[in-house]
Amino acid sequence: MSTLLDIQALTVSFDGFKALNDLNFRMEEGELRVIIGPNGAGKTTFLDVITGKVNPTTGTAYFKGKDLKKYKEHEIARLGIGRKFQTPRIYLNLTPRENLELSGNRAKSVFSTLLGQAATAEKRQVSSLLETIGLDYKADVPAALLSHGEKQWLEIGMLVAQSPDLLLVDEPVAGLTDEETEKTGELLVALAESHSVIVIEHDMEFVRQIARQVTVLHQGSVLCEGTMDQVQSDPRVIEVYLGQEVEA
Ligand SMILES: Nc1ncnc2c1ncn2[C@@H]1O[C@H](COP(=O)(O)OP(=O)(O)OP(=O)(O)O)[C@@H](O)[C@H]1O
C-alpha cells in the first residue's frame, strides 16, 4: 500500500480565524476513512483544500506524491479526486442511465451520448454501475422522479463513472430514511473495495456501520484517530463531541 494523501501542518486562515490549524493527516491507498467532528471543526474546509477550492495559508497537501498547491480545482479533479456535495447535482430531466453516460463521457460530445452512440463497452459499464448503485430498475425514468436517497446514489454513481482514485463524500445520509441510510452504507463499503474513500458524517449510527478508521477533527486540528470503539471511548472525544450525544 502506498500513501494517497499526505497533509502536513496545514493551516487555513479566514481573516485571521484558523478554520484549519496545523492539521496533519495521512491516508493510504484503498482506505475508507470517516471524518467526524462537531460543527465548525473544519471538515468542509478540509475537503475544500483537498479539491483546490481553498488554498492553504501554510502547510502542504500531497496527493499521490503531487503537491496540490500547484494545481487548479479542475486539474485536481483530473488527477483523480472526485467530490460529492451534500445536495445532489444531477440532471433531473435525464434518466439515471443518461446521467451516468454523460459523466463517463465528459470529454466526448453530449449529443453523441444522447443519440445513443455510446460504445458497447461503455454501455456495459453504465449498466453495471446502475446495478451497483441499485438503480437498474429505475434506469430509464427521469431522475426528477427519484427519491432523495436514489438521487444521492445516482450522484455517487456519476462520480464513480469518472473513475476517480479518491472519492470525497460529504454527509451522504443527511435527510435519508433509515433504510436508505443503510443502503448508502452498503454502497460506500462496496465502492471502497475498488476506491479510496473519505466520508464526512454526523450520523453516528451510520459511521459505526461503515467506519474502519475514524479521524476526529476539533477546532481545525486532528483530535484523535482510531477505530470507532477507540475514538468513542477517548475522553477527549467524549468531552468535545460525543459527550453531547451521550448526554442527549
Ligand atoms: N469562507 C469562510 N470565511 C470565514 N470563515 C469561514 C469560511 N469558511 C469556513 N469558515 C469558518 O471556519 C470554521 C470551520 O468551518 P467548516 O465549514 O470547515 O466546519 P465543518 O466542520 O464542516 O462544520 P459543519 O459540521 O457545521 O459543516 C467555522 O467556524 C466556519 O465558520
Place of cell 446521467: 99
Q: How far is the CA of 91 from the centre of ligand 1 (A)?
A: 29
Q: Decide: 43 in ligand 1 pocket, CB within 6 A.
A: yes
For residue 111, give every residue at least 6 positions away whose Cβ sits within 8 Å of its Cβ, in sequence order, or none.
Answer: none
Q: Decide: 52 in ligand 1 pocket, CB within 6 A.
A: no
Nearest residue (by CA) to ligand 1, atom 10, is 19
Q: How far is the CA of 192 from the centre of ligand 1 (A)?
A: 27
Answer yes or no: are the C-beta atoms of 151 and 88 closer than 8 Å: yes
Asked if residue 28 has pLDDT above 80, the reply is: yes
Asked if residue 83 has pLDDT above 50, the reply is: yes
Asked if residue 95 has pLDDT above 60, the reply is: yes
Express each pLDDT in 148-171 by its tens digit.
999 999 999 999 998 899 999 999
Average pLDDT over residues 217-235: 93
Q: Decide: 99 in ligand 1 pocket, CB within 6 A.
A: no
Q: Decide: 93 in ligand 1 pocket, CB within 6 A.
A: no
Express each pLDDT in 187-210 by its tens digit.
999 999 999 999 999 888 899 999
Q: What is the CA radius of gyration of the chain?
A: 19
> ipTM score here?
0.95
Asked if residue 211 has pLDDT above 90, the reply is: no
Asked if residue 115 has pLDDT above 70, the reply is: no
Tell me which of 17, 47, 240 to substitute to probe ligand 1's pocket, judged by most ligand atoms within 8 Å of the beta carbon.
17
What confidence score (pLDDT) does residue 119 get? 66
Rounded to the nearest 10 degrees, the angle between the axes of helix 148-161 and helix 120-132 is 140
Percent of the chain with pLDDT over 70: 90
Nearest atom (ligand 1) to Cα of 202: 25
Q: Decide: 14 in ligand 1 pocket, CB within 6 A.
A: yes
Q: For the chain, what are the domain ranges?
A: 91-163
Of 134, 137, 155, the C-alpha closest to 92 is 155
- State whether residue 125 is helix, strand or coil: helix
Nearest atom (ligand 1) to Cα of 220: 14
